[in-house]
Structure 1
C-alpha cells in the first residue's frame, strides 16, 4: 500500500487530463488510498472550483484540515469568497503577496463594501498588468468607482468621465453609466445605458438567453433613471417589459419589483405594497444588496407601513433600531429611521398638529439629529423660522460644550452647518452666517484631507466665498488661507484657484492661476463695438418693473411726444377768487358748521362734546352748545309697565 500511494500521487501530478471530472475521480481515488495525501486533496479542491462546485470545495477543505488550508491558501480564500464569506476571504488573502491573492482580496473587499481598499488593490494591479486581462481589470475598476460614487466617496475616483475604451464593451459602459447616475448626471447615464444595451445586443458569441440575462440589470437601471427624470409613462412601460420571475439573482429581482411599483403612474395599493416589501430580501443570501441599497429598501418599508396606518408597529420597530445607536449619529440611514419614527408618532398629521405629537420626543432624544431636523423643517413650513433657529443654536451649543469627542466632531458636520447657515440666510442674518462658516472652516482646516468627511471641501469653498464679502480683515485673511490650502491639495481645482485670485490678487502667482482660462479667451467672442452701439442697459426705475430701458442706438430717433396734461380734479363750483374753507380737510361731523338733525342726533352730539351735557327739562338750543353745569346727572327713562306702574316685585 505504501508503494501504491506515491505512484498514484505522481501519476496525478504528471497527468494532462483536460476533463475536470476525470481529475476529480483521480483525486478521490488517491484520497481513498491515503487520506493524508495533501497533493490529492489539493487537486480535488482545484477540480471542484473548476466545476463551480463551491459548497463541495468548502467541505473538502474542512475534511483536509488546517494543513490543506495552509497549502492551498489561495484556493481557500477564493472558496470562502464564493460561498458567501467575503470577510474571512479578505483576511486569508491578505496573508499572500502574489497577484492571485490581490485579486481575491480586491473582490472580497468589494463584497464587504470596503471600496477604498478595493480601489487601492485594483490600482496596484493595473499598474503592472502582466498576464491579467486588461479588460477584466478595467471592468472591475469601473465597478469599484461606481460604488465609491454611490457611497459618497467620489473624491477617491480618479476617472470621472468615461474614455473611449469604456465604450467598447457593454460591461464598462454599464459601470460608467452607474457612476454618472450616482453623481446625479442622469442624462449622461441614460446615454451610456443605451450604449451598453446596443453593445450587448451586437455580441455574436452570446446566445439569446445569455443576452437577456445580461440585459436585465441594464433595464432595471433604465427604469430607475426614467423614474428619477419624471418620465413615469416610459418608466412604467419599460418596467412592465421585465418579468421579475426570470431574474435569477434574488436581490436584483427584489429591486426590479420595487422599481416597477414605484414607476407605476397609478397609486399603488399600500397594503399590497406592504406585503411585497415585507417579504424582505433574506432569501437573496449570499448575494444580498449593498448597504446603501438595503437602507433605501428599509426606508421604503417604513414608508409603506405608514401608508398602511401601522403607526404603532412602525414606532416600536424604529425605536428599537434607534435604541441601539448612540446619539448624535451622522449616519444617513439611522437619521432616516428617526424621521420615520417621528412620522409614526405624528400619525399622519402635518404642521402644528404634528409638532404637538413630536416635540415630547425631543425630551427623550435631545441629541437625535434626524428628529431635530424634522422639527426644524416643521417649524419652517409653519412660518416659525425663529423657533427653528433657536432649536438649532441650542443643539449646536450643547454639542460644542460637550466633552465627548464624537459629539464635538458632529458639531461641525457639513450638513448641520449648512442647515443653520440656510436658516440664517433666510432670516437675513448675514453676519451670523459668516460667523458660523468661519468657525466651521477653522475646524476643518486643522484636519487632513483623508480625515475630512465628503462634504468638508464644499463647506470650505462656501466659507471662503462668503468670507470674501466681509469687510473684516480677519475674515478676508481666513478666506485667503482657505483657498491657499485647497489649491495646495488640488492644483487643478479651478474654484480654489479663482478664490485664491479673488482673495489676494496682488500675491497670486501665474502657477497658482494656471488652471484658469485667460481673460482674453473669455472675451474673445464678444464684439465690444456692437455692444456699445446697441446701448447700455439702464436699471429699472421701479423695483416691480420687469423690463429695462435702453438709450436709442442712433441719434436720429423720433422725438418723444409731449405729455398730455392731466384732467383737472377741481370741483365744478370752484371759484379762484373765493377763499377755500379751512375746515375742508376735517370730517363733516367735526366741522363747526355741522348741525345734527333730530332730537337723538342733537342729544348724541351733546354727549360727544367734552364737558357738556344736554339741557335738563328737554330744552334744546339750536344756535349754541349747552354750557357745563355745576352739577347734574343725566338720567335715562325707566320703561313703565301696564297702567303706568313700574315693573318689579310688589
Structure 2
C-alpha cells in the first residue's frame, strides 16, 4: 500500500477514536497491521482497546494469538490491555503469569515506587483480587490508590466505591485500617456499597435506609439496571429481617421485568426458591434442579458473578445433587471432597438413618484424623460432628473434636489456622451443653499457650480471640481475660469495640452505663415466661449413647450393690440349714419338683419329669384287661 494510503488510514483512526466508533477503529487497525506500518505496537494496542470497548474479549484473545509476533516483541507496551482481557475472560493462570512478569516486587515494595506508571495495572489487579476472593489485597490496593490521588487521576466517588466493595464480604478488614475516603450521599453507588457493609454487620435497619436513598437517586437518574440491582439487594435485606411477604413481592416483580436468559433473572429465581422448605423425603430434587436451570447457570461462570456469589451457587447445586443421590465427583474444594467421601460411605443419603450415618462417619473420621489433620480432614470432621449432634451423641462429638485438636497440636502450637478455630468454637458450645467446665478450663489453658507462641499474629483472627476472652471471663478468670482483651483493643482500629473497652477500662462502672446495658430487658416478660426446672438424671432418655466412663461407673455401682446384698444375706441366713445338693440341676430334673395341675396334661419331653400315672400309662410290661370278644355278624346271603 502507498504511503499516502497509510497516512489516510492513520488520520481516519484518529477521527474514529474521537467519535467513539469502535468497530470502524478495529477494522482500520486490522488493515494497517496487515499492510505493514511503522509502529505496529501502538496500532495493535488501539485495536485491543476498540475491541475491549465493544466487550468482545474472546475476539481480543483471538487477535493476541493471530498477531503473536507483535505480542512477543512489544507485549510490554499493551500489558494493561492484556491483563484486562485475561481478567474478563477469567483466566487466572495467564493473568498471574503476566502480572508477575510486569511487577516483580511484592505489593509493599511497589507502593514505595512511582505509582503513576503502574496505576492502571494496580486497578486491574484489585478488580481481579476481588473477583477471585483475595479481599485483603484488593482492599489494600484500593486504599493506596485513594490515598495517592492528589492529581485527581481517578474519580473520588469511584475510589470510594471500590474501597468499600471488599468490605461487603470481609468486614473484619476495617479492623486493619480505617476508611480513607469519606461517604458522599449524592452518589447512589456509594450508598449502595455502604448498605452492603451494614448488611454484613447485621445492621439491617441502617441498610434499609441507605437502600431507600439509593433507589430514589437511581430512579431520578433513570438507569434501569441499577434500579433492578438495588431492588434485588432490598429484597435480600427484607428476607434477612424476616419480612418474607415484601421480599417475595419484589422478586416476583423483578422476574416479570427481566429477560429469562440473563444471569440477573437466575439469581432472582434462586432467591425466590430459597423461601421454600425442602425435605429429603418429599422434595423431587431432580425436578428442582431443572427448575433452577443449572445448565444455564454453569455457562456464566465467574464472568458474570463475583467469587462469593459463584461459590454460594456451586455449594447449593452440590447439596441438591447430593440429596438426589447423584454421584459427586471430588474437586478442589473441601466441600466437594467431603460430599464425594460422604456419598461413598453412605449407601443412601436420603433413606439411611442418621444414627447409622453418624456411626460410619465417626469411625472414618477417627482414622482420617489419626493419619493427618491437613487438607480436607476438617470437612469430614464437621460433617461427622453435625450427624452426632443430630443424634444427640454429645460425648462422641466432644471426643472426636478433642482428638482433632490434640493431633493438630502434637508437635507445636505455632500452626494455628481457621480449622482449629472452628473446632474450638464447637467445643465451647458442646462443653456448655454438657456442663463440662473443667474441660473448658483445659482448652483455655492450651489456647493460652497458642496465644503465647503466636504473639502479634493473633490480630489476624480478632473475632476468635475476642470470643476466647469472653470465655475466660465466663469461668471467672478476669485477670487473663482483661489482659487478652486489652491486647486486642490495641489492634482494633476506628471506633473500637465498646464492650471490650468497658471490660478493660479501669474506671468503675457508671450507673447510667449500667442502666443502658439492661434497658432492653423486659422484666415483666421474663416473669411471664416462668421457670423450667432442671431435668433430673433419673429421667434421662435411656436410649442415649453411654460413654466408656459412664459404663465403668455403672459397673462399679453394680458390684457395690452385689457386695451389700451378700453381706445382708450372710447376716440373716440359717447356718443349720444346708444348701440343696440338687441345686446344680435344672428345676424340672430335681426330685423335689412338683408340676402344677395345669402342666400335668402338657406334652412330655425327653429328660422331663412326669408323675406315676403317666409312667404307668407308658409301661408296656403290664397288660391291661382283655377286650370283650365281639360277635361276628354273618353276612346276609344275597339272592342267586
Same-fold call, TM cutoff 0.5: yes
Deviation of 1:488 (Å)? 2.7
**347, 351, 355: which one aligns with 1:348:** 351
Give me the whole-angstrom Cα distance separating, in 1, the residues matched to 2:336 and 2:173.
Answer: 16
1:235–1:263 CA contact under 8 A, matched in 2: no
1:236–1:265 CA contact under 8 A, matched in 2: no
Which residue of 2 is the match for residue 234 of structure 1?
246
Give me the whole-angstrom Cα distance separating, in 2, the residues matched to 1:44 and 1:374.
Answer: 53
Give me the whole-angstrom Cα distance separating, in 2, the residues matched to 1:227 and 1:69.
Answer: 49
The question of 1:522 aligning with 2:513 is answered yes
Give me the whole-angstrom Cα distance separating, in 1, the residues matched to 2:270 and 2:347.
Answer: 22
Residues 525 and 79 (structure 1), Cα distance of their counterparts in 2 relative to 1, 3 Å cut: closer
1:292-441 matches, cutoff 5 A: 292-307=308-323, 310-311=324-325, 313=326, 316-317=327-328, 320-321=330-331, 345-362=348-365, 365-366=368-369, 368-401=377-410, 409=416, 413-441=420-448
Residues 635 and 470 (structure 1), Cα distance of their counterparts in 2 relative to 1, 3 Å cut: closer
Deviation of 1:148 (Å)? 2.6
Give me the whole-angstrom Cα distance separating, in 2, the residues matched to 1:382 and 1:81.
Answer: 47
Which residue of 1 is the match for residue 145 of structure 2?
125
Deviation of 1:200 (Å)? 1.2
Which residue of 1 is the match for residue 298 of structure 2?
282
Deviation of 1:306 (Å)? 4.7
Query: Normalising by the residue count of structure 1, what TM-score does the alignment of the two structures yield?
Result: 0.65
Residues 195 and 266 (structure 1), Cα distance of their counterparts in 2 relative to 1, 3 Å cut: farther
The question of 1:457 aligning with 2:462 is answered yes
Deviation of 1:433 (Å)? 0.5
Give me the whole-angstrom Cα distance separating, in 2, the residues matched to 1:47 and 1:544.
Answer: 73
1:182-201 matches, cutoff 5 A: 182-201=200-219
Which residue of 2 is the match for residue 223 of structure 1?
235
2:192–2:211 CA contact under 8 A, matched in 1: yes
Which residue of 2 is the match for residue 597 of structure 1?
none
Residues 463 and 108 (structure 1), Cα distance of their counterparts in 2 relative to 1, 3 Å cut: closer
SS at match of 2:303: coil
**32, 38, 43: which one aligns with 1:40:** 43
2:361–2:384 CA contact under 8 A, matched in 1: yes
Deviation of 1:430 (Å)? 1.2
The farther-off stretch of 434-443 and 346-355 is 346-355
1:233–1:265 CA contact under 8 A, matched in 2: no
Deviation of 1:4 (Å)? 4.9
1:339–1:370 CA contact under 8 A, matched in 2: no
The question of 1:137 aligning with 2:159 is answered yes
SS at match of 1:393: helix
The question of 1:181 aligning with 2:199 is answered yes
Deviation of 1:436 (Å)? 0.5
2:302–2:310 CA contact under 8 A, matched in 1: no
**265, 269, 275: which one aligns with 1:257:** 269
Give me the whole-angstrom Cα distance separating, in 2, the residues matched to 1:344 and 1:169.
Answer: 56
1:562-641 matches, cutoff 5 A: none
SS at match of 2:153: coil
Deviation of 1:421 (Å)? 2.0
Give me the whole-angstrom Cα distance separating, in 2, the residues matched to 1:525 and 1:463.
Answer: 25
SS at match of 2:454: coil
Deviation of 1:416 (Å)? 0.6
Give me the whole-angstrom Cα distance separating, in 2, the residues matched to 1:190 and 1:462.
Answer: 29
**Stretches of structure 2 lacking an aligned partner (at least 5 in a row):** 104-116, 518-523, 534-571, 575-591, 602-610, 618-640
Tell me which protein shows more helix as a share of its residues. 2
Residues 435 and 196 (structure 1), Cα distance of their counterparts in 2 relative to 1, 3 Å cut: same
Residues 8 and 289 (structure 1), Cα distance of their counterparts in 2 relative to 1, 3 Å cut: same
Give me the whole-angstrom Cα distance separating, in 2, the residues matched to 1:452 and 1:348.
Answer: 45
Deviation of 1:634 (Å)? 11
Deviation of 1:284 (Å)? 0.7
Give me the whole-angstrom Cα distance separating, in 1, the residues matched to 2:469 and 2:226.
Answer: 47
**Stretches of structure 1 lacking an aligned partner (at least 5 in a row):** 326-330, 506-512, 527-536, 547-608, 612-632
1:93–1:102 CA contact under 8 A, matched in 2: no
Deviation of 1:142 (Å)? 2.4
Deviation of 1:544 (Å)? 5.4
SS at match of 2:202: coil
2:366–2:400 CA contact under 8 A, matched in 1: no
1:499-578 matches, cutoff 5 A: 499-501=503-505, 505=506, 519=510, 522=513
Higher relative contact order (CA 8 A, sep 6+): 2
Which residue of 1 is the match for residue 19 of structure 2?
19
Which residue of 2 is the match for residue 595 of structure 1?
none
1:434–1:463 CA contact under 8 A, matched in 2: no
1:437–1:463 CA contact under 8 A, matched in 2: yes
Which residue of 2 is the match for residue 565 of structure 1?
none
Deviation of 1:435 (Å)? 2.0
Give me the whole-angstrom Cα distance separating, in 2, the residues matched to 1:344 and 1:220.
Answer: 40
The question of 1:73 aligning with 2:79 is answered yes
Give me the whole-angstrom Cα distance separating, in 2, the residues matched to 1:422 and 1:525.
Answer: 28
Give me the whole-angstrom Cα distance separating, in 1, the residues matched to 2:395 and 2:328.
Answer: 33
2:459–2:488 CA contact under 8 A, matched in 1: no
2:87–2:128 CA contact under 8 A, matched in 1: yes
| Number of positions where the alignment pairs a residue of Structure 1 with one of Structure 2 | 509
Deviation of 1:214 (Å)? 2.1
Residues 375 and 193 (structure 1), Cα distance of their counterparts in 2 relative to 1, 3 Å cut: same
